[in-house]
Structure 1
């Protein structure tokens, strides 16, 4: 069994809302001010942010995703989605971020400003299902603590133009544990395939994104399959016959996945573009670097591929 916490059962959940925590650098384009921080230090960065606090920030890589997440509340029977800001800014330098949030009319009111410290401890306090950040260290800490988290990778690609929110996931080490991936890396493809055939009726353990997928599924159950404002996809390098265990695992979890692409090692990018993903999550850096040429991408530094 997975040793990840059952986040769907946490008492800190806010009335069963889907809660997403995001850093300011994932939400907005802060490359210029971050360069000041790296080149001149914290004090220069603080001065720069205060001096430019009335200069509005441009959207960052995850901006379109956040807009679509918040837009779900317009079609849901109640406000069931919340986005929380977790920022390494101070409250003082964070004024620029909140000024930009107000300008872009984003319904974000809760935040934690930690003045340079990692904000990952507040993920549990806010009851977040997912943490998105440009800081790989913070993401790794969140994953180690058992939370779904991803490092947002630089991408010039915007979301699909439809109003529907489309999210794509890799399988092993993201939705599922890396137990099968370990066999592949230690013993090769044939051993991996033989194991998956033998274990086809034994569900895989959950990976770090299982609870996030389950939360999306709970919203989907409020709508018919053709009316849901959310569409999900599994995009995996697996191929038949290793597909059966994945299908049976999702069935055992009673979680709906709308599309499943078993690519057998083909480049995922064109398929993600065809699906129209607003974001794609994968544990392997190489796959992420390819995918971000086509869609917004989050690297999940979890499992054997990141050891």
Structure 2
């Protein structure tokens, strides 16, 4: 069976489940102690991690579609298959339909992202995320603490614009020359579409999945949540139009903090390239840092 016609999310075990306790054992006592710890507790169900609600809703989409499943979650883990048994036991306990995995016994699993045909990679390891971005895959480092379980079944993705959906060409002007130069540049370039950012392909895949549903009953909603304001909004709108991409909501904040707006939208996850914006948003919703573009050059 091929995965080419599915929307595929790859997720690390530490993003799906709360593995802080066992990871602390690994950090303080080493691999052998960690392995013993996991094997001794392999029948103990792991607590849900920050990405668990997102994954649960994502997999539920298949129940609303006829025919073959259109979405899949792949588990990528630094555990060995032996220590990973606790992870799979927990997956079974929660009823998650995750059947494919790569256990890499301490090595980075990012090299399996491309063979699995993944559209998105979520991890708690920033190094793996950077490697995935270098492979051209949308990827983000999940920030602990912002996950909220919503009562409804609608899956809500929120995206920052520059350096996430779009290239960071405009953000470079802002960072190097300031707001006035940025505004003048965007006004002058309003008719010229922005280049694509690391999450353009994932947004396109999401839109194809949305097209499987009647607009009135679609279980997926998307939103652009950007610090941009008028007149810099025009280039964004024209770019999305040129790409033939439709977002359900677009929020131009003009520099206001994003957290309350993300909570009002009900985001299951928000993706942003700015570490400070991510830290603020994570107080309200599950947040993924996208280490891409000029805002991350100093920390690279």
TM-score over 0.5 for the pair:
yes
Please say if residues 164 and 197 of structure 2, whose CA atoms lie closer than 8 Å, have aligned partners that are also in contact: yes
> What is aligned with 1:91?
81
- Aligned partners of 1:152, 1:29: CA distance in 2, in Å? 12
- The aligned residue for residue 208 of structure 2 is 218
Choose the corresponding residue for 1:69, options 37, 40, 58: 58
1:251-273 Cα deviation digits (max 9, x unpaired): 11111100000001100000000
Q: 1:159·1:296 contact (CA, 8 Å) conserved in 2?
A: no
CA shift, 1:107, in A, is 0.1
Is the 1:169–1:282 Cα contact (8 Å) retained in structure 2?
yes
Change (3 A) 1:156 1:255: closer
Secondary structure at 1:124's aligned position in 2? coil
Q: Helix, strand or coil for the counterpart of 1:142?
A: helix
Deviations 1:283-302 (A, max 9, x none): 01111111011001111011
Identify unmatched segments of 5+ residues in structure 1. 1-11
**C-alpha separation in 1, matches of 2:204 and 2:221:** 13
- Whole-Å Cα distance in 1 between the matches of residues 89 and 154 of structure 2? 27
Give the superposition deviation at 1:229. Answer: 0.8
- Partner in structure 1 of residue 121 of structure 2: 131
- What is the distance in 2 between the residues matched to 1:270 and 1:236? 13
For residue 256 of structure 1, the aligned residue among 243, 246, 264 is 246
> Could you tell me whether the CA contact under 8 Å between 1:159 and 1:276 is conserved in 2?
no
CA distance, structure 2, for counterparts of residue 274 and residue 13 of structure 1? 38
Q: Does 1:55 align with 2:44?
A: yes
Unaligned stretches of 5+ in structure 2? none
Contact kept? 2:146, 2:287, Cα under 8 Å:
no
Report the 3-state secondary structure (helix = DSSP H, G, I; strand = E; otherwise coil) of the residue aligned with 2:277.
Answer: helix
SS of residue matched to 1:121: helix
> Aligned-pair distance for 1:14?
1.3
Runs of 4+ in 1 over 6 A off after TM superposition: none
Equivalences for residues 10-21 of structure 1 within 5 A? 14-21=3-10
**Once superposed, what is the RMSD of the aligned Cα atoms?**
1.1
Matched residue pairs, number? Answer: 296
Shift of 1:15: 3.8
* TM superposition score normalised by structure 2: 0.97
Q: Whole-Å Cα distance in 2 between the matches of residues 48 and 223 of structure 1?
A: 45
Equivalent residue for 1:39, pick from 28, 46, 52: 28
1:226 shift after superposition? 2.3
State the alpha-carbon separation in 1 of the partners of residues 154 and 291 from structure 2.
28
- Once the two structures are TM-superposed, the CA of residue 158 in structure 1 deviates from its matched residue by 1.3
